[in-house]
Structure 1
Amino acid sequence: MDAEERRRGILEATRRTGAAEVNKLAADFGVARETVRRDLRVLEDHGLVRRTHGGAYPVESAGFETTLAHRTTMHVPEKNRIAAAAGDLIGDAETVFIDEGFTPQLIAARVPVDRPLTVVTASLATAGVLAGREHTTVLLLGGRV
């Protein structure tokens, strides 16, 4: 079991029981307590759990959104399939809007490169994916910082 799978299991355990103890998690996953503590730190950094003395509890909120860095590691095969399908849907379009986020970055990598296309986006990362393409014009939406 790699670290990502273990962290997913730790998160599921905290959600299922409402809290989890380091000692029990270490025994359940067959790893050292310090490994569990490091995993809990990572999960807390991503806003998924709140650490307590000797354990953690899940952070659940309808308004909660994980960081982009974390989302780039989640469901990547599925996101690649979505990106491929979205790239195919562009068809003969001359202009498309690509939103912000990791999946839209994958979609940007799938837009046609062999014909003129204008892409409108508010995402610097998406604009960066497209910036060097010969036939693609990128319009980056401005705004207030």
Structure 2
Amino acid sequence: MFPLERQQKIIDLLKVNNVLKITELTEALNISTDTLRRDLNLLEKQGKIEKIYGGAKIAESKFFESSMEERMVSHLEEKEKIAAKCAEHIEDGDCIYLDSGSTTLQIAKYIKDKKNLTVVTNSIPIINELMNSSIELIIIGGKIRRNEQSVVTYDYLFNFNELNILKTFICASGITIEKGISDYNLEEAFTRKKIIELSNLNYVAADSTKFGKNVTVHIAPLEKIDYIITDSHINKSFISKFNKTNTNLVITE
């Protein structure tokens, strides 16, 4: 099979399966891992696919949100480091909000030993992760978003004003200096806006690929965000720009 034919086959397989592991692709194409990696590197440079932890997926469109399952494995190492750094900002006795998202799910894994911690969340995976811990859990009520495995709520279903949240950790699909943070879903954005207004300190946990993007729905300007925690792959030009804002940019090692 010629390289161009093989690379098109990779794209076709990913269109059908969304995400495939390296082993699945090498078996399907009957090629070596080295050959596959060369093809994936080329296709990624062309913007046709994205390499993820242990595999690959079709490149994300700027207009659509990738699935929760895809984000669970995409940039996993970076998200784990971001989560560990976020956990350093969480103290015994805090009442925190953990947003739905793949990065905030990683945070849940690092806080199980905190004492007298209360976690408010709209994320079903986070509830499952913390269910058998000593952490007090509060899940907001509302409509289930199956694809996101989250609950989106409305004033008439949940009394936000009764919450006394010290720190909020939310995800974002887009971060820019000019527009602040944004996301793809209107209902998720509504919940995040409400929580941001209630919380004493607002954190955004987002990997470096989110910077420079302004996606569908505006959530909040930067002045509403106290900290953005991201990974070391962030473009250095953003660092100098953030130095001119009141938002603290924290970069993992």
TM-score (norm 2): 0.37
Q: Which amino acid aligns with 1:119?
A: V
Query: Quick check: 1:24 aligned with 2:7?
Result: no
Structure 2 residue 101 is the aligned partner of structure 1 residue 121:
no
1:37 CA displacement: 2.7
Distance in 1 separating the partners of 2:74 and 2:5: 22
What is the RMSD of the two structures over their aligned residues, measured on CA atoms? Answer: 3.0
Name the residue aligned to 1:139: 138
Change (3 A) 1:60 1:124: closer
Structure 1 residue 91: Cα displacement: 2.5
Consecutive unaligned residues in structure 2, runs of 5 or more: 20-46, 49-57, 145-253
Instruction: Provide the residue aligned with 2:40 in structure 1.
Output: none
Structure 1: unaligned runs, 5 residues or longer:
1-21, 50-56
Q: How do 1:1-145 residues align onto structure 2 when only pairs under 5 Å count?
A: 24-26=4-6, 29=7, 36-43=11-18, 60-61=61-62, 63-134=63-134, 136-145=135-144
Structure 1 position 84, deviation (Å): 0.2
Cα distance, 1:25–1:68 mapped onto 2, change above 3 Å: farther
Aligned mates of 1:113, 1:131 — CA distance in 2: 13
Question: Matched residues in 2 for 1:84 and 1:64: separation?
Answer: 28
Greater share of helix residues, 1 or 2? 1
Residues 101-127 of structure 1, C-alpha deviations (whole Å, 9 max, x = no match): 111111011115241110000011101
Bigger share in strand: 2
Structure 1 residues 27-86: Cα deviation after superposition (integer angstroms, max 9, x where no partner): xx5xxx655532332349xxx98xxxxxxx97733x411001011111111000000000
- Alignment partners' CA distance in 1, 2:115 and 2:60: 46
> For residues 115 and 64 of structure 1, do their structure 2 counterparts lie closer, same or farther at Cα, with a shift above 3 Å needed?
same
Conserved in 2, the CA contact under 8 Å of 1:71 and 1:102? yes
Larger Rg: 1
Letter in 2 for 1:24: L
